[in-house]
Structure 1
Amino acid sequence: MKGLKSGKIRIGYLQQAYFLPSVISHMKSRYPNIKFELKEGSSDQVKKWLDDYQIDVGIAASPADDFEYIMLKKDKMAVVLPPDHRFAEKEIVTIEELENEELIFCKGGHEAAVTEAFANKKMNLSVKYFVDVLKEFSTVE
């Protein structure tokens, strides 16, 4: 933002971008004449908004090859299991152990990262349910 004294910055972000309010607060104190326009969506939406010039900056769950990006943070993924599942007592479950397990797949930003992780290992991803941001289930037949 060097040299920028006033104007508007349009930011597309994921709901999981919990750090964004503190970043915006810090930026507003340093650049009081800059307005921030925020738009929440999935990683795919954020990438589309960038592509369509609807936003200036995007915060997504995974990088996109067709955009310049800076890795902000690496997160660990968690497996949530019922208490009687054969992996429930394990401290760590590897991606290899999840091959062919029927999974509940969360939409809203992490699909690309999970799909890519399975593809990189040349493994089968078996999705039984999809969960969207409203926490509703839809069965894959």
Structure 2
Amino acid sequence: MTLTQLEIFSLVAELRGFTLAAHRLGVSQSAVSHAMKSLEQELGVELLRRHPSQIELTDIGEQLLQRARAMLGLANTLRQEAADARGMKSGTLRIGSFGPTSSIKLLPKILQRYRQAHPGIEVHIDEGPDRQIVQWLEERRIDIGFVVLPEERFDTFALTADQMVALLPLNHPLAASPALSLKDLCVDPFVLTEAGSSELVSRLFNAARLQPNIRYRCSQLLSTLDVVGRGDAITVVAEGSLPDAASPRYLKKPLVPAVQRQIGLAVLDQRQASPATLAFIELATRIYQP
């Protein structure tokens, strides 16, 4: 069993296909297929079920995939520690980022300084909803991720905080209200954005035992803002995720009681984090913590 075989297994499982994995790796499909067959023969179990259009993991395949990713994560840490001994001249850092708050407002400033300090570290960034970042951390697909705190499953590092706000169309009947409660937002059509803090918004309503009138679900914040701007729905978002528009097509209202959102970085286990990851944490907390 080799690390290359485990890397191929992990990628095939992620992409659900030999062809896509081969394309990503820059090798032939037959090479990927041979590596998987050799791994299955060595382990004595079937890891994948082959179908005409895609593959799926067997039960034992699902179980061993977690072990494989853990081994790959530790191998990456070993490489990073060796690179650290050489002055961190090379290595890889995989970052998970969600929504405009982290991808547009936090990450660029950190990356600019990180690349200046560690130009040899290759940085990979994957974007997804906040719940996706958590899953990627658990599956060791990323080394570090931006998350909404608190997040008890990981070692976390607070960076910044903002407020949750309600967004209304310009001509909405509640436009004159200085602030709004969650109950005020349960009658009109509601648009739920799947980007950013969708989990936090859902938890807020559930904790208050309220149910918004969800008519729209958007995967991108800009689509959500367009729905509100057209007058089709209202929503709740994090203030820090909003674009710096001179003349927005919506009204922003604070919530009562106020709801704070805290953003931080998370790693699966700080003790096993690579030097490149720890350097990113140290730099990010130095930039954003008072």
Same fold (TM over 0.5): yes
1:109 to 1:63, Cα distance in 2 relative to 1, 3 A: farther
1:13 to 97, 105, 112: 97
Equivalent positions of 1:75-114 (< 5 A) are 75-114=162-201
Identity %: 24
Residue of structure 2 in register with 1:127 after alignment: 214
Separation in 2, partners of 1:105, 1:82? 15
Deviation string 1:38-90 (CA, Å, 9 cap, x unpaired) is 11111122111111111000113454332222232222223222233221112
Residue of structure 1 in register with 2:137 after alignment: 50
Separation in 2, partners of 1:126, 1:63? 27
Deviation string 1:3-26 (CA, Å, 9 cap, x unpaired) is 742421100101311221110111
Letter in 2 for 1:97: D
> Could you say what secondary structure the match of 2:132 adopts?
helix
Aligned length: 135
Separation in 1, partners of 2:118, 2:160? 24
Structure 1 residue ranges, 4+ long, deviating more than 6 angstroms after superposition: none
Separation in 2, partners of 1:55, 1:21? 18
What value does the CA root-mean-square deviation take over the aligned residues? Answer: 2.3
1:66 to 1:126, Cα distance in 2 relative to 1, 3 A: farther
TM (normalized to structure 2)? 0.42
Instruction: After TM superposition, give the deviation of residue 95 of structure 1 in Å.
Output: 2.3
> Could you say what secondary structure the match of 2:202 adopts?
helix
Alpha carbons 1:100, 1:124 under 8 Å: kept? no
1:112 to 1:53, Cα distance in 2 relative to 1, 3 A: same
TM (normalized to structure 1)? 0.80
Separation in 2, partners of 1:106, 1:129? 8
> Could you say what secondary structure the match of 1:89 adopts?
coil
Separation in 2, partners of 1:62, 1:131? 23
Separation in 2, partners of 1:101, 1:70? 37
Gaps of 5+ in 2: 1-80, 228-290
> Could you say what secondary structure the match of 1:28 adopts?
helix
Larger proportion of helix:
2
Gaps of 5+ in 1: none
1:126 to 1:69, Cα distance in 2 relative to 1, 3 A: farther
